[in-house]
Amino acid sequence: MNRRTFTWLAVFLLLPALTILLVFKALPILYAFRLAFYDWGISGEKGFVGLENFRALFQDPFFWQSLLNTFWYTIFAVPMSIAISLVIASLLNRGIRAIGLYRTIYFLPVVTSIVAVSVVWKWLYDPQRGLLNYILSILHLHPLLWLEEPRGIFELLTGRQLPLFLKGPSLALFSIALMSVWKSLGYNIVIFLAGLKNIPDVYYEAARIDGAGPFQTFRNVTVPLLSPTTFFVTIMTTIISLQVFAPIWTMTGPPPGGPLGTTTVVIYYLYQKGFEEYQVGYGSAIAFVFFIIILLITIFQKTVLEKRVYYEV
């Protein structure tokens, strides 16, 4: 088979997948980008407005509040998810029996519907009949309004009024972050386990010969050699966390998005504008501004974190 024939055969085999990507991915993205420059509502296109939607967006205090809520959610959800999954993966990597069973147990929440998981956790958070408040009552602690408390967690812990940027996420948003960490734990555990299996035992043997303890071995051997896996998990978890929507809608929706709008994240705000208020052009502007923000965050992570990654084992 000559090169030309091989090229045409490759194009022919790729054509179905390329067609699907073009029709259901590329064209809708381009059309949505076009809508961002129009005053497009429920009755259809109303006229070209240029950058007016973007100008209004940057002057919209609700957008900035949703952006702050999104960042608070991500700042708490990502480190918790990575730290907990890494610890559990390290424990599972110690050659325990029935490790396949444990992997299945931890992975079950990942394949469970996010809506179903959100409904179950909403019951757990119920202020009157929820399991968590029942546990707090056994410990003689005050019950909490898990999904109804608008005050920031730092404000609740200190008992003092704090500036907006120091209050932290509302208890409602923090509660949703806890649920999301539990939901995604199994996926990160499996990824970390795969990374741990790729670390040769010779490094651990050398550490034991040098007299390193478990903590020193974990810090000086496991963490550096697992850095490519940690780098991948960090970027993926961050992107997924920034796009959170379903738990917000299920646990604190419908609008205004939780107590005093403190759980309204950017994707939820986009949904409100585009699909409830039918400001499709404005919603498209939100989508593309947020796309640029996610892209910049990802580039920043790659630039900063990749310097600490050790690819050679």
Length of the chain, in residues? 313
Token digits for 93? 């990597």
Whether residue 1 is predicted with pLDDT greater than 70 in this model: the reply is no
Question: Do 267 and 244 contact (CB within 8 A), yes or no?
Answer: yes
Please write the tens of the pLDDT for every residue from 127-147: 888 999 999 999 998 899 999
Domains, the chain, ordered by start: 52-308 (1.10.3720.10)
Please write the tens of the pLDDT for every residue from 231-274: 999 999 999 999 999 999 999 876 556 778 889 999 999 999 99
pLDDT of residue 45: 61
Token digits for 37? 């420059």
**Interatomic CA distance for residues 85 and 130, integer angstroms:** 26
Question: Do 261 and 206 contact (CB within 8 A), yes or no?
Answer: no
**Interatomic CA distance for residues 88 and 106, integer angstroms:** 10
Please write the tens of the pLDDT for every residue from 201-221: 888 888 888 888 888 888 888
- What is the amino acid identity at position 31? Y
pLDDT of residue 251: 92
3-state helix, strand, coil in the chain (%, to 5): 75, 5, 25
Please write the tens of the pLDDT for every residue from 10-32: 888 999 999 999 999 899 989 98
Question: Do 48 and 42 contact (CB within 8 A), yes or no?
Answer: no
Write down the pTM of the prediction.
0.90
Closest by CA to 199, choosing from 181, 178, 224, 182, is 224
Burial class (CB in 10 A: 0-12, 13-18, 19+), 245: middle
Question: Do 110 and 184 contact (CB within 8 A), yes or no?
Answer: yes
pLDDT of residue 156: 87
Q: What percent of the chain has pLDDT over 70?
A: 96
pLDDT of residue 158: 86
